[in-house]
A and B are shown apart, each in its own frame.
Chain A
C-alpha cells in the first residue's frame, strides 16, 4: 500500500517535471540588433489591418513608390524615380527604378505595382488611401500610371501609404499571405521569422538597390510591458527603443545612451459630443462646450501624461509643413476665467454636471481624463470618468452615446486627411454627428473639404480650409490637446542617422550601423 502511494506520488511529480522541458534559445548572433515592439504583431501584409507594431518592422521590409518626408512635407523618390501629374489632375505617372528586386529575387516591374494597387483597393484598412483612384495601369516595365475618379491633389500623400509587393510571391502564398514569412517586399531587409506574439526577425537584403544594409540581422522583439522593456534596454538586451514617456527623463539624461526626440504627427483631442443624450442634452449648449475647452490644461497634460514627449497644440495640423494647412484663428488656451465667463454666458454660473467622460483603459487617456476633471471641477463643471475597453468604447463613441471622449490620430501631412472626422460622408463612424444638425453649419464644412481636394494652388487650398477649421473650432466639439513625439534611445555602440526620422518612414534600420 505504501509503495503504491509513493509510486503514485512519484508519477504525479514526474508528469509535472515532464512539462518543464526547457529548449535552449538559439545562440546569440553577433551582428544582430534588437528592437522592441510594444504590441503583438498582427499581420505580415501591408494591406490588411495593421497596428503600430507591424508599422515598425514593416518599415524596413516594404516600400512605397514615393516617400513623404515629414520633416518638411515634401516627397522624395523611393521605388519611383520621378513622377508627374496630368494637367486635368486625373492621371499620375510614376517612372520606376530599373534596379529594384523583390526579396524572392524577382525584378520589380510596373505590373507588380498594378497588382499592389489593386490588392490595396480591396483592403478595408486602406480605404481612406485607396478611395481616390479608379484603376492602375502598367504602360511598360518601368512606367506605372494611376487614374483618379476626379481631381484629387492630396493623392501623392495617399500613395506614400501604399506599399509595393511582389505579385509572384503573394500569389504563391494565396490566402496565407499575411500570416507567415513572405519574401514579397523590396526593402533593405527581408523576413526570416514571423512569430506575432514573440518576434519578427529580418536579415539584410544583398540586392537592395541602394546597397546592402550595414547591420546584418534585426530582431523586432515583442515586449508589451513598458517597465520590463526599459529594464531590458538598460541591461543591453535591446539596442534601440522607443522610450515610454514615464522613463524618458531618466533615459535621455543618462550619457550611457544616445537619444533624440522626433515629432510624430499624432494629435490628441478632447471630443465633446454636442448631441449627447446625457443630462438632458446639456452639451447642446455651445458655451458650455467652449467652457470645457478653456479648462484643458494642455501643459499639465504634457507634463504628467507625456513627461515632455509632446507639445501643447492649438490647431489641427502644423501649417508650416501641411499641404493646405491653415493657421487657426480660434484657439482655446487654458484659462479658467474665460471658462467661468463662458459658463456664465451659458446660464450656469454656479456650475453644471455634464455627464461622463469616457476613456479607454488602460491608457494615457485615463490620466488625461483625471487632469481635465480636476480643472473642470474648479470652475464647477462636473463629470464622471468612465473606463471602457477599446472595442466597446469605440462602438459607443460611434453610436454618438458618449458625452466626452478622447481620440488620437496620426495625420498624413495634407489637411484633407482630417476631413475624415468632419466631412459628413463618413457620418456613420463619426464621434460627433454633424449631419443634419442645426447646431453647426455642416454643409459649409462638407463643401470646403470637397473644394479643397479639387484646388491645385496651395495658397487657395489654405484659404478654403481656414474657413472649415474656423467653423469646427468655433463649434467646441474637437479640442486639440497635444502633438506627441517619439523619444528614441539607443546604445552607445550604435551609430544612428536620425536625419530621415519621421512618423511615416518610421525608423528603417537601414540608417543604423555599429560603431567600429
Chain B
C-alpha cells in the first residue's frame, strides 16, 4: 500500500469543513476553563475549609488525564439522568481538565500584583469591591492574558481527544474517512498537517500579544 497523494488531497475539503467545530470547541472550552479556574482560585484563596477542599480539587484535576475525564462525563452523566450532546460533554470535559491549570495562571496573575496596590487603594478610601474591580482585576487581566493564550493553544491541541466520544471535529472526520475507505495514512497525515499549521499560527499570535503586553513600558 502506497501513500496516495491524490486521495490525500481529496480528503482536505471534508477535514477543513469542520475546522469551525475545532476552533469553536477550543474557544468555548477556554472560556469555560477560565471561568472555572478563576472561581477555583478565588475559593482557594478563601482559606480554611473551602480553601483546603479547593486546593485538593485542583490537585486532583491536575493529576488525572483528559481522556479519563471525557469518559467519566460521557458515561456517568447519562447514568445520573443528565443527557447532553457529545459536543457539550466534550466542552465540559476540556473546561474541567484545563480549569486546574487556569487556576494556577490566575494565582500567579494575582500574586504578581504588588501588595501596595491594594493598600494604597484602601488608603484612598475605596471599598473592597472597588479595590478588586478597579485596581486588582485590570492588572490581573494584563498579567494573565499571555498565559491564558498559551493555554488556549494547549486546549486547541486537546480538541482531537473529543473524537473518542464521537464529536465530529477534525480528527473524528479524518477517522470517519479512514474507516469508510480503509485508508488511514492519508486523512491522518492531512489532519496532522492542518493541526500543526493551525497551532503554530495561533501560538505566533499569542507571542505577538505577549510582546505587546509586556512591551518596553511594562516591567
> Do chains A and B stick together as partners?
no
